[in-house]
């Protein structure tokens, strides 16, 4: 996923030239567009798509729209394959804390197909992230080292939780004293981003209506913008849905993790069904329950005795977060089974060697160390300012941590830091959405979920759909984070039909998809659904980019 700077530059040389030729033809502006579209900065994106970029100035503080404090939203546009386009769909891929533009470009070819090729796709980095006033508390290496130490030990010992709670207050102090939050901390909340989305819809010079597609936390953003501006909704899809009531009003995102342990168990059940040819640990000749028990035995052993692996200290939280990431996408389950075969059943030497490789890969994907603290800071900045309640005492917090552990053995300790920080956060988002997500939008929204999602359970999607009168529901009987991780002809048709005609799936529709461990690629599914004979170009372009969601 990540490119080195020199690679980017090198790649850019080719494509900047190609883009420059295209630019003149492509720059015809929509009549009323307030954005000047031009080529993107050289080297910014590694793609063969012909992108356009522009900047939209929006108020920092929407309660003072005329103030001179403005921020520039850098917007990337993937023009529709079929021109003239029917308008733009704005994209968000979650976090909170993740920038959207790069991910939009990676997912672009797939999302173009899933929206019928007739819409432009648009993305800007939400406030607090990427190129839009990124939220930062500190870049001091010593302080970052201290922050990391505690985050890595969510549930590791009797004393870990107390330290984490104290860490939450210390980090909040650090952010207040040394970060950029005094200037921006109130203005990076979700409701401000929702207003940015409307500003962009206004600036496009189209029909003034909103088209939006959000995943994961992007569903909280989508539910918020739809609830704040129901009259503006043309078409809106939220896929892999968070419970927004929890997000804003609970002490932790409890519901989010209610299916995590079930999906972990399901990994072992489907492993046995797939057999040793596809799932390495099935060769142990054990039942699913025994395999799972062995995996927990390994995790518990690592809690007591973390493993030195080259440059890395492999601890309980590290292993658990790796597993949680892998539960997002069954395309990686065969590999996960090979990794578990070594970790749980292999020799000590092989285990260390493999863990070193796994951690190095995480580091290369910017998911470790300083990078993980960067994204944690962005997450605090956004989620903690959005979260309404605060907690006064450790005893109260301990009850929240216990509840999280009870909801998920796998995740409880991993996400405890979010509660510890948000409960003691110094800023509240300005102009928040204060409603209850019970609304009737001008046109129906479409809510989508897999049956088994370790990050955003089906029940949260049903919860949001129940609040949005007339909303449609797409359930894919698959496993992974959001339905785009589980390709199906039926899901493809439901999405394309909605985006093109606004038609909702028939009530009660459950789309079938392949079993985990079986090959199941979007390119093949789309070829089947559209009857296209030559899948080569689809296979080259339409990939599901792993690990971005
Ligand atoms: C750009 O992306 C392609 C396809 O994902 C990848 O194969 C290639 O290595 C990337 N180029 C650079 C310079 O990183
Ligand atoms: C933020 O404001 C507080 C006072 O509320 C002050 O002590 C602190 O130094 C300020 N932080 C920065 C980075 O200016
Ligand atoms: C599992 O069973 C097969 C067939 O009975 C046998 O060949 C294999 O050695 C067994 N594997 C283990 C790890 O016991
Ligand atoms: C733990 O969860 C179970 C059901 O999942 C519930 O019955 C029980 O009350 C919970 N215990 C605590 C301490 O939250
Ligand atoms: C949605 O979830 C919230 C928070 O858990 C809960 O209070 C509310 O009753 C739920 N709504 C529905 C319709 O299930
Ligand atoms: C959904 O998938 C599960 C797991 O593959 C399967 O057991 C179940 O029968 C499916 N449900 C339906 C309604 O097809
Ligand atoms: C959209 O509706 C038109 C007219 O009813 C129909 O011909 C077309 O097949 C529909 N397209 C999709 C993708 O459902
Ligand atoms: C299929 O498409 C690829 C890429 O566009 C092209 O190179 C190839 O010649 C095509 N194959 C056939 C049989 O048309
Ligand atoms: C310190 C701490 O919170 N430990 C908890 C870790 O999670 C288990 C449940 O999986 C609890 O039993 C521990 O109390």
Q: How high is the pLDDT of residue 374?
A: 92
Beta carbon of 459 within 6 Å of any ligand 5 atom: no
Q: Give tens-digit pLDDT for 228-255.
A: 999 999 999 999 999 999 999 999 999 9
Smallest-distance ligand from the CA of 468: 5
Measure 535 CA to ligand 8 centroid, in angstroms: 8
Q: pTM of this prediction?
A: 0.92
Q: Is any ligand 1 atom within 6 A of the Cβ of residue 3?
A: yes
| Whether residue 271 is found in the same domain as residue 349 | yes
**What are residue 88's DSSP bridge partners?**
120
The pLDDT assigned to 31 comes to: 56
Q: What pLDDT shows up at residue 23?
A: 35
> Residue 547 falls within a domain, yes or no?
no
* pLDDT at res. 225: 98
Task: Give 78 Cα–ligand 8 centroid separation in angstroms.
Answer: 23
Same-domain check for residues 409 and 491:
no
| Pairing assessment for the beta strands 70-78 and 120-124 based on DSSP bridges | antiparallel
pLDDT of res. 126: 98
Q: Are residues 437 and 515 in the same domain?
A: yes
- Answer yes or no: do 339 and 262 share one domain: yes
**Residue 7 near ligand 1, beta carbon < 6 Å:** yes
Ligand 8 center to 527 CA (angstroms): 14
Same domain, 263 and 344: yes
Strands 52-59 and 70-78: antiparallel
State residue 30's pLDDT score. Answer: 52
The predicted pLDDT at position 150 comes to: 83
Question: Looking at the DSSP assignment, which residues form a beta bridge with residue 479?
Answer: 452
**What pLDDT was estimated at residue 152?**
66
Q: Domain for residue 524, yes or no?
A: yes
**CA pair distance 57, 547, nearest whole angstrom:** 31
Residue 216 bridge partners (DSSP)? 241
The pLDDT score that the predictor gives to residue 19 is 35
Whether the CB of 536 sits within 6 Å of ligand 8: yes
Residue 5 forms part of a structural domain = no
Q: Are residues 416 and 437 in the same domain?
A: no
Give the Å distance between the CA of 405 and the centre of ligand 6. 28
Give the residue from 374, 399, 424 where a domain finishes: 424
The residue segments making up the domain with residue 245 are 52-125+189-250+432-541
Are 228 and 109 part of one and the same domain? yes
Dihedral sign of CA atoms 112, 235, 237, 31 in order: positive
How far is the CA of 118 from the CAs of 114, 457, 499, in angstroms?
Answer: 10, 31, 9
Ligand 2, atom nearest to 179 Cα:
13
Q: How many whole angstroms from 454 Cα to the centroid of ligand 5?
A: 19
Ligand nearest to the CA of 527: 8
Residues of the chain with pLDDT under 50: 1-29
Q: Ligand nearest 48 Cα, by number?
A: 1
Q: How far is the CA of 292 from the centre of ligand 4 (A)?
A: 21
Closest ligand 3 atom to 284 CA: 13
Which is the closest atom of ligand 4 to the Cα of 403?
A: 14
């Amino acid at each position: 996923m990540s490119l080195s700077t020199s690679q980017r530059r090198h790649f850019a040389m080719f494509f900047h030239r190609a883009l420059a030729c295209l630019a003149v033809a492509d720059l015809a502006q929509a009549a009323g567009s307030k954005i000047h579209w031009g080529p993107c900065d050289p080297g910014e994106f590694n793609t063969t798509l012909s992108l356009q970029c522009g900047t939209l100035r929006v108020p920092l503080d929407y309660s003072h729209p005329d103030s001179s404090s403005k921020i520039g939203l850098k917007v990337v546009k993937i023009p529709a394959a079929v021109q003239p386009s029917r308008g733009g769909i704005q994209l968000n891929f979650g976090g909170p804390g993740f920038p959207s533009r790069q991910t939009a470009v990676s997912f672009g070819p797939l999302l173009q197909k899933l929206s019928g090729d007739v819409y432009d796709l648009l993305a800007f980095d939400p406030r607090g992230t990427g190129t839009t006033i990124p939220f930062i508390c500190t870049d001091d290496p010593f302080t970052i080292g201290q922050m990391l130490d505690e985050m890595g030990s969510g549930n590791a010992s009797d004393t870990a939780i107390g330290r984490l709670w104290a860490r939450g207050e210390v980090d909040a102090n650090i952010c207040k004293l040394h970060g950029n939050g005094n200037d921006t901390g109130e203005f990076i909340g979700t409701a401000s981003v929702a207003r940015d989305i409307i500003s962009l819809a206004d600036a496009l010079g189209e029909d003034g209506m909103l088209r939006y597609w959000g995943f994961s936390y992007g569903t909280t953003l989508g539910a918020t913008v739809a609830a704040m501006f129901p009259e503006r909704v043309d078409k809106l899809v939220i896929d892999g849905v968070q419970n927004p009531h929890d997000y804003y009003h609970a002490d932790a995102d409890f519901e989010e993790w209610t299916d995590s342990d079930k999906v972990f168990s399901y990994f072992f059940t489907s492993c046995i069904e797939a057999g040793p040819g596809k799932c390495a640990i099935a060769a142990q000749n054990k039942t699913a329950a025994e395999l799972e028990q062995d995996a927990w035995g390994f995790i518990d052993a690592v809690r007591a005795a973390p493993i030195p692996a080259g440059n890395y200290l492999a601890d309980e939280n590290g292993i658990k977060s790796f597993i949680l990431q892998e539960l997002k996408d069954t395309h990686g389950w065969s590999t996960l089974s090979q990794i578990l075969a070594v970790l749980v059943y292999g020799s000590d030497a092989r285990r260390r060697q493999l863990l070193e490789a796994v951690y190095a890969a995480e580091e290369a994907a910017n998911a470790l160390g300083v990078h993980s603290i960067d994204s944690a800071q962005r997450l605090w900045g956004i989620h903690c300012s959005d979260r309404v309640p605060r907690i006064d005492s450790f005893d109260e917090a301990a009850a929240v941590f216990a509840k999280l552990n009870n909801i998920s053995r796998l995740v409880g300790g991993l996400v405890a830091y979010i509660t510890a920080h948000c409960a003691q956060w110094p800023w509240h988002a300005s102009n928040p959405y204060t409603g209850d997500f019970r609304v009737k939008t001008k046109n129906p929204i479409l809510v989508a979920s897999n049956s088994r999602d370790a990050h955003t359970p089906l029940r949260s999607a049903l919860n949001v759909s129940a609040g949005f009168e007339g909303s449609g529901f797409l359930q894919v009987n698959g496993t992974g984070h959001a339905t785009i991780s589980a390709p199906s002809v039926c899901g493809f048709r439901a999405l394309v039909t909605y985006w093109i005609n606004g038609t909702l799936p028939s009530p009660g529709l459950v789309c079938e998809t392949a079993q985990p461990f079986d090959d199941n690629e979007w390119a093949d599914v789309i070829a089947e659904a559209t009857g296209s004979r030559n899948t080569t170009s689809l296979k080259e372009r339409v990939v599901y980019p792993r690990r971005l969601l």
